[in-house]
Amino acid sequence: MKERVLIFVDDNDILEVCTIVLESNGFEVLTHKNCEEILDKVSAFMPDVILMDNRIPPLGGIRASQEIRTSIAFKDLPIVFFSANRDVAGLAKEAGADYFIEKPFDLDDLVDLINKACDDGAPGEGEIGF
Residue 94 within a domain: yes
Q: What is the pLDDT of residues 38-67, one digit of tens each?
A: 999 999 999 999 999 999 999 999 999 999
- Which residue range(s) make up the domain with 82? 4-120
| 65 to 17, 26, 56, 59, 97: CA distances (angstroms) | 22, 25, 11, 10, 7
Measured in degrees and rounded to the nearest 5, phi and psi for residue 43 equal: -60, -40
Residue 17: CATH number of its domain? 3.40.50.2300
How many folded domains does the chain comprise?
1
Q: What is the pLDDT of residues 84-126, one digit of tens each?
A: 888 999 999 999 999 999 998 999 999 999 999 999 864 444 4
Residue 12 within a domain: yes
Residue 128 within a domain: no
Q: Residue 70: CB partners within 8 Å, gap ≥ 6?
A: none
Please state the rounded mean pLDDT for residues 3-21.
95
Residue 85 within a domain: yes
Residue 81 within a domain: yes
